[in-house]
Structures are given as structure tokens and as C-alpha cells.
């Protein structure tokens, strides 16, 4: 499926302009409409920040100026919740239902803002049913999706992420599929990766495959290390949610990668 509508979460963080620049780049690359969503929530017995309106006007002006200059179809969405107690995550999730791709910022636990909850990326991946592109809170990303790495672990989450990443993969110049294992590589593993390579070739994608055995590094660090060594600018991985006493949370590997992210990450569940 092609990407025709992109939703980018706009917040009051210092990283918002970098995220917006990336979203505009993606809208241009895919010929998509871009919606900039600024959610306003109302908590019980909550006083409003008198400086909030001026901040909204500033980022709204930036959004409109950048999208006009880029020559893309764009829409500014200021969503002021009419219901007390509705969260930012609820608003973004609902708006994401009607988008092909959702772009949010990586959580920066030192400077989390009012309209940017710390668990937004994780909760959005779990709930929205759409691929979520998480942008690191630091750094500039002039190229995204040119060199792609797919982190593979057999299961529905990896299959879903591979499918959702196809519009990005087809526009890339380099694709690699890696598997991280704590055990020795088996012939069955080689056969599996040959199947992935064959599948991608049916889509005219010539992908490199690699299996890595963990040494002193954890699985999450092995993934991040491979990203650095191969100069990857977009990491793709499935969001596994193990069942632990009825709670909904991403796997420790996914949480580690999200926390230490250095390049944009495309996640699906």
C-alpha cells in the first residue's frame, strides 16, 4: 500500500522542528498529505498555562511556513478536547486511525512536555494499528529511508513490520535484514533468511541478510551496533508485547531500542 496521508504529532518540545522537517521530507518523498496534530487536553482541577496560546501560535506559524515552502499538501489540526480527562495518547491514537503513517518523537524523560507524555511512542504502537515512525529527540536527519535495516524475529510482529515498511523499502538504495540470536546459527536459520530474501526479490528488492550471535552485548545493543556500523538511516522492527500478568508493554528489547535510539525507527504491532 502506498503512503498518502501522514500524521505528525506536534508538541512543545525543542525537538519538534527536526521532527517536522523529517515529516515534510517523507510527505515529499511519497507525494502524501501531511497533517500536523497539536492536541490540547484538560485534566481535572487543572489550571491552564497562560503562555500556551503564544506557543501554539508560534509552532502553527512554523508548520504553515515550512509546508508552504516545501510545496506539499498540508493541514494544521489543533484538537482541543471537549472532554475532561482525555489524554494526549487517546487523541493521537484516534487521529492515527485515519492515516497511513504516524510520526512521533522519541521520549526525552528529562524534558517531557505537557502534550508529550513519556510513554506516547510505546502506547501508540500498541493501540493505533498503524506503523509508527519514532524520531530521536536529538540529531538532524537529512536522509531517512535510504539505507534500511530490518530487525527480524520470526513471528507476526516482524511480518507486520516488513509489510508496513514496503513503501519505504521500495524507495531505498540499501536494505539489510538482520537476525540476532543468543545461540549458534543453525541451518534452519539460514533457510529462513533465504526465504525472506526470496520474498523481497519478488518485490524487486535486493536485500542483504545477516545473522548475528550475541557476544558481550545484549540483543538491543547488537541491533543498535549494527545500525551504526552499516550507516543505517531507518531501522524497522516489530513491536512484540509479551503477556506479563495482564499488563500491556513492549518487550525489553523494543523498550531498550526506543530508549537508546539514534536513527528513526519504524515500528508495527
Give CA angle at 260 (113, 129), nearest 5°: 70
Residues 254/171, Cβ–Cβ less than 8 Å: no
Q: Would you say residue 140 lies in a domain?
A: no
Question: Do 11 and 131 lie in a common domain?
Answer: yes
Q: Would you say residue 40 lies in a domain?
A: yes
Burial of 234 (0-12, 13-18, 19+ CB in 10 A): buried
Question: Do 13 and 130 lie in a common domain?
Answer: yes
Q: Would you say residue 108 lies in a domain?
A: yes
Structural domain ending residue among the three candidates 135, 162, 179: 135
Question: Do 258 and 232 lie in a common domain?
Answer: yes
pLDDT tens-digit profile, the chain (269 residues): 789 999 999 998 889 999 999 999 999 999 999 999 999 988 776 656 656 777 899 999 999 999 999 999 999 999 999 888 899 999 999 999 999 999 999 988 666 555 678 889 998 998 999 999 999 999 888 889 999 999 998 888 888 999 999 999 999 999 999 988 766 655 555 667 778 889 999 999 999 988 887 777 888 899 999 999 999 999 999 987 665 555 556 778 888 999 999 999 999 98
Question: Do 127 and 165 lie in a common domain?
Answer: no
Question: Do 13 and 129 lie in a common domain?
Answer: yes
Number of domains in the chain: 2
Number of alpha carbons in the 13 Å side-chain half-sphere of residue 29: 19
Q: Would you say residue 141 lies in a domain?
A: no
A 10 A CB-CB count for 79 gives 16
Question: What is the per-residue DSSP string for 122-179?
Answer: HHHHHHS-S-EEEEPSSS--S--SSEEEEE--TTHHHHHHHHHHHHHHTT-SEEEEEE
Q: Would you say residue 15 lies in a domain?
A: yes
Q: Would you say residue 220 lies in a domain?
A: yes
Q: Kindly list the distances between the CA atom of residue 159 and the CA atoms of 108, 238, 254, 267, in Å, as whole numbers in the listed order.
A: 29, 8, 16, 11
- Whole-angstrom Cα distance, residue 249 to residue 76? 31
Structural domain ending residue among the three candidates 105, 135, 165: 135
Print the domain residue range for 64: 5-135
Number of alpha carbons in the 13 Å side-chain half-sphere of residue 190: 4
Sheet-wide strand order for 265-268 = 74-80, 33-40, 5-9, 101-105, 132-135, 265-268, 234-238, 147-151, 174-181, 208-213
Q: Would you say residue 251 lies in a domain?
A: yes
Question: Do 16 and 82 lie in a common domain?
Answer: yes
Q: What is the pLDDT of residue 190?
A: 62
Q: Would you say residue 142 lies in a domain?
A: no
Question: Do 211 and 123 lie in a common domain?
Answer: no
Question: Do 86 and 28 lie in a common domain?
Answer: yes
- Whole-angstrom Cα distance, residue 76 to residue 37? 7
Structural domain ending residue among the three candidates 72, 101, 135: 135
Cell, residue 140: 538532524
Residues 157/238, Cβ–Cβ less than 8 Å: yes
Question: Do 99 and 153 lie in a common domain?
Answer: no
Question: Do 99 and 179 lie in a common domain?
Answer: no
CATH of the domain at 262: 3.40.50.620
Residues contacting residue 140 through CB under 8 Å, at least 6 positions apart: 18, 21
Question: Do 27 and 130 lie in a common domain?
Answer: yes
Question: Do 52 and 24 lie in a common domain?
Answer: yes
Amino acid at each position: 500500500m502506498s503512503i498518502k496521508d501522514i500524521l505528525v504529532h506536534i508538541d512543545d518540545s525543542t525537538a519538534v522542528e527536526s521532527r517536522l522537517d523529517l515529516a515534510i521530507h517523507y510527505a515529499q518523498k511519497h507525494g502524501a498529505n501531511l497533517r500536523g496534530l497539536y492536541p490540547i487536553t484538560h485534566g481535572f482541577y487543572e489550571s491552564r498555562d497562560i503562555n500556551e496560546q503564544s506557543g501554539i501560535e508560534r509552532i502553527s506559524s512554523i508548520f504553515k511556513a515550512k509546508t508552504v515552502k516545501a510545496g506539499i499538501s498540508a493541514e494544521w489540526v489543533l484538537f482541543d478536547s471537549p472532554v475532561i480527562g482525555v489524554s494526549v495518547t487517546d487523541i493521537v491514537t484516534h487521529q492515527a486511525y485515519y492515516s497511513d503513517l504516524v510520526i512521533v518523537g522519541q521520549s526525552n524523560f528529562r524534558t517531557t512536555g505537557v502534550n508529550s507524555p513519556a510513554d506516547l511512542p510505546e502506547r501508540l504502537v500498541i493501540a493505533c494499528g498503524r506503523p509508527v515512525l519514532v524520531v530521536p529527540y536529538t540529531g538532524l536527519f537529512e536522509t531517512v529511508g535510504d539505507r534500511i535495516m530490518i530487525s527480524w524475529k520470526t513471528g507476526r510482529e516482524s511480518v507486520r513490520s516488513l509489510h508496513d515498511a514496503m513503501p519505504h523499502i521500495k524507495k531505498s538504495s540499501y536494505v539489510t535484514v538482520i537476525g540476532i540470536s543468543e545461540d549458534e546459527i543453525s541451518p534452519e536459520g539460514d533457510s529462513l533468511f533465504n526465504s525472506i530474501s526470496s520474498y523481497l526479490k519478488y518485490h524487486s528488492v535486493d536485500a542483504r541478510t545477516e545473522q548475528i550471535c550475541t557476544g558481550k552485548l545484549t540483543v538491543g545493543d547488537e541491533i543498535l551496533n549494527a545500525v551504526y556500523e552499516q550507516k543505517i538511516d531507518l531501522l524497522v522492527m516489530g513491536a512484540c508485547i509479551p503477556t506479563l500478568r495482564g499488563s500491556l508493554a513492549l518487550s525489553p528489547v523494543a523498550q531498550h531500542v526506543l530508549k537508546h535510539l539514534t536513527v528513526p525507527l519504524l515500528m508495527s504491532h
